[in-house]
Amino acid sequence: MKALIQRVTAAKVTVDEELVSAIGKGICVLVGFCKTDTEKDVDYITRKILSIRLFHDETGKRWKKSVKDENLEILCVSQFTLYGRLKKNKPDFNLSMEGERANELYSTFLKKLGTQYDSNKIKDGRFGAYMQVHIQNDGPVTIEIESPTLNDKQNELPNDSDHNQL
The Cα-based distances of 82 to 16, 32, 67, 145 in angstroms read 23, 5, 23, 11
From 33, 55, 80, 109, active-site residue: 80
Task: Tell me the C-alpha distance between 53 and 122, whole Å.
Answer: 18
Helix (H) / strand (E) containing 36: none
From 33, 46, 79, 109, active-site residue: 79
From 9, 81, 136, 154, active-site residue: 81
Query: Has 80 been annotated as catalytic?
Result: yes
Task: Tell me the C-alpha distance between 54 and 56, whole Å.
Answer: 7
Query: Has 79 been annotated as catalytic?
Result: yes
Question: What residues are labeled active site?
Answer: 79-81
